[in-house]
Amino acid sequence: MELFWTRISQALPFILVFLSVSTIRVTNVEGSHVLDLEYQSVLAVTVKQDHRTRFHFQPRRNWINGPMFYNGIYHLFYQYNPFGAVWGNIVWGHSVSTDLINWKQLKPALTPSKPFDKYGCWSGSATILPGNKPIILYTGVVDESQRTEVQNYAIPANLSDPYLQDWIKPNDNPIIVADPGVNTTAFRDPTTAWMGRDGRWRTVIGSRRSHRGIAYLYKSKDFKKWVKAKHPLHSAPKTGNWECPDFFPVPVQGTNGLDVSLVEKSDVKCVLKVSLDTTRYDYYTIGKYYPKNDRYMPDSNFVDGMNGLRLDYGNFYASKTFFDQRKKRRILWGWTNESDTRMDDVEKGWAGIQSLPRKVWLDPSGKQLLQWPIEELETLRGHKVHLKSQKLKKGNLVEVKGITPAQADVEVVFSFPSLDKAEPFNPSWAKFDAQELCSRKGSTVEGGLGPFGILTLASKNLEEFTPVFFRIFKMKNNFKVLLCSDASRSSLKKELYKPSFAGFVDVDLSSKKLSLRSLIDHSVVESFGQGGKVCITSRVYPTLAVFNDAHLFAFNNGTEAISVETLDAWSMKQPLIY
Ligand SMILES: *[C@@H]1O[C@H](CO)[C@@H](O)[C@H](O)[C@H]1NC(C)=O
Ligand SMILES: *[C@@H]1O[C@H](CO)[C@@H](O)[C@H](O)[C@H]1NC(C)=O
Ligand SMILES: *[C@@H]1O[C@H](CO)[C@@H](O)[C@H](O)[C@H]1NC(C)=O
Ligand SMILES: *[C@H]1O[C@@H](CO)[C@H](O)[C@@H](O)[C@@H]1NC(C)=O
């Protein structure tokens, strides 16, 4: 469920510690995950390579779902099952990197061992205390039947060890237990803490009361004794359990990031992200934090819950950001789960990857966040092909040859001569969300302006393909732009989850251009529409379009001819992730 970051500042050689698998423990405690007692401790003997991603982070094997970062070295902590490819036996996996691209896996940072975490070391966050001392706040599960969740802390055993391999869980834990009235089985995932101007530390914990989602605020003078604030930081009715809250400031102008301690500044906006257990997606609002009464209020044009903005309209959950001191940016990372079956996962020997790390900042309009893959990823770009001014009439396909389409980075700018042929938006569709609309208006359904876009992971004769495309609808006074990443034809294999993920892009079409970037990595297509306004991550498992048999095309199935103004595609190199 989550990510926690910090960073360390001097780059030193890595030490790799192999994990001992001799002490298999089975825990029957369940968070929001389906339990699979049969497979949660089946260790992968071989790791299947067909759909294994190459430049997305994943451990060597088994199940993961989430990351952290500290001091010149990036630390990634993630919920990890060292013993199987399904959820269970959850520990804090720990990997380190100096560039966010190449990773080495260390031994787990936290494993269940003490009365206060015996049944699970669940998500949490890292905070750097004054004196450059990292501390982890995490959720421990203390009993099996009630599944009582408490908040604990852990500190590095040796601050001189640049990898912070050993962590101590002191015996004065837990430091936060649920107050009366707080649901003890929905009380988890403490955020990175920050110190207010009043000198008190604050952390936010996800919860629910009946159907109301809640972000409780806890305060402390010494980081040990915590008191629940009078009001939650924020809450919203009919949104269900809030998991993995993330709260951070963004400057009103520019693309830089800010440390979380600046939430109180008057010239910043604040972002509250929550992972909704009900829908299993990550939603956010943008607003202000009012230090006087310790509350966050979304600006009036934002909605809490399922109808709100999403960080990603595809497989993306339990995300977390951290402030990267080194480059003064805020980086977002989410957990991207599998869309195949649990049996497939057991057979593959692994399940779950991290999305690509993305820089996040406020759109100049203030209406949303923008996201873009961190610039370091461009160092993986190898051989390049370039197309320009390629006209595509209805039904035209152009193949992008000369790169490795199963492992590639593609940037395209499409242009169109006019908006006249955009299909009128039927008012009866207003009840559909973007995903539903995309499932009805897929790439094979002829349109006026669009569908146009790219076909990723396509087999030679198009038995399989994952199209990422735009479709433009005419409304009464404006236009509606849909970006789809449609897995419905991605694989001949039947028993897969193949959603038609989609989002609406808030864009001014006066330039008559739309842009798209997709990063393709064997079983994942991660797309960024219009400079990161809409991001969609799809997991797909082609049977024919694998390795050198995968193809990449640009296409148009709308009656209006469009033009591929420029298309740049690169083969992507494989970093060291082990
Ligand atoms: C702490 O880490 C440093 C650097 O790796 C090492 O030299 C030292 O021996 C460690 N101290 C202990 C007590 O392990
Ligand atoms: C407490 O949380 C659990 C887990 O989300 C939920 O099943 C239960 O209904 C909640 N109880 C109340 C009173 O809201
Ligand atoms: C374009 O539409 C035709 C007709 O429906 C269909 O056969 C073809 O597969 C479509 N192309 C794409 C890329 O979906
Ligand atoms: C990822 O897997 C798919 C298919 O099994 C489920 O439908 C999603 O709910 C799941 N996502 C998360 C965040 O668990």
Mapping DSSP onto H, E and C, the string for 396-442 reads CEEECCCCCCCEEEEEEEEECCCCCCCEECCHHHHHCCHHHHHHHCC
Counting atoms of ligand 2 from 1, which one is nearest the CA of 209?
14
pLDDT of residue 151: 98
Residue whose Cα lies nearest atom 12 of ligand 1: it is: 158
> What CATH code is assigned to 382-572?
2.60.120.560
Would the CB of 455 count as within 6 Å of ligand 3?
A: yes
- The residue contributing the CA closest to ligand 4 atom 3 is 339
Domain extents for the chain? 2-373, 382-572
**Sheet arrangement for strand 562-572:** 381-392, 562-572, 407-415, 513-521, 524-529, 534-539
| Residue to probe by mutation, ligand 1, list 15, 73, 158, 164, most atoms within 8 Å of CB | 158
Residue having the nearest C-alpha atom to atom 8 of ligand 4: 280
- For residue 241, how far is its CA from the centre of ligand 2 (angstroms)? 8
CA-CA distance, 576 to 58, in Å (whole number)? Answer: 11
2-373 is classed CATH 2.115.10.20: yes
How many angstroms is it from 158 CA to the middle of ligand 1?
6
For residue 210, the ligand 2 atom closest to its alpha carbon is 14
Task: State residue 90's pLDDT score.
Answer: 86
Protein residue closest via CA to atom 7 of ligand 2: 185
Q: Which residues contact 74 (CB under 8 A, 6 or more apart)?
A: 5, 7, 8, 96, 97, 98, 99, 100
The minimum-distance atom of ligand 3 relative to the CA of 395 is 1
Q: Which long-range contacts (CB under 8 A, 24 or more apart) does 154-159 make?
A: 154/109, 154/110, 159/133
Specify the residue with its C-alpha closest to ligand 1, atom 14: 158
Ligand 2 atom nearest residue 186's Cα: 2
Q: Which residues, judged by CB distance below 6 Å to any ligand atom, belong to the binding site of ligand 4?
A: 280, 315, 317, 337, 339, 497
Residues in the chain where the model's pLDDT stays below 50: 1-28, 66
pLDDT score at 65: 57
Instruction: State residue 48's pLDDT score.
Output: 73
Give the pLDDT of residue 226: 98
Q: What is the pLDDT of residue 59?
A: 76
Q: What letter would DSSP give residue 210? A: T
3-state secondary structure of 561: coil
Distance 515 CA to ligand 2 centre (A): 43
Q: How far, in Å, from the CA of 152 to the mean position of ligand 2?
A: 21
Q: 67: CA distance to ligand 2 center in Å?
A: 26
Counting from 1 in the atom list of ligand 3, the atom nearest the Cα of 555 is 13
pLDDT for position 38: 67
Amino acid 40: pLDDT: 73
Half-sphere exposure at residue 255, Cβ-oriented, CA atoms within 13 angstroms:
11
In angstroms, how far is CA 481 from the centroid of its own chain? 23
* pLDDT value for 111: 96
Using a 6 Å CB cutoff, which residues line ligand 2? 183, 185-186, 208-210, 241
Ligand 3 centre distance from Cα of residue 405 (Å): 20
How many beta carbons lie within 10 A of that of residue 391, not counting itself? 11
160 lines ligand 1 (CB under 6 A): yes
Residue 434's φ and ψ, nearest 5 degrees, are -60, -40
pLDDT of residue 455: 98
Question: Could you tell me which residues are beta bridge partners of residue 467?
Answer: 455
| DSSP per position, 124-146 | EEEEEETTTEEEEEEEEE--SSS
Sign of CA dihedral 142, 144, 147, 148: negative
pLDDT at 44: 62
Instruction: Please work out whether the CB of residue 347 comes within 6 Å of at least one atom of ligand 1.
Output: no
pLDDT for 37 equals 64
Please give the model's pTM, rounded to 2 decimal places: 0.93
Residues counted in the chain: 578
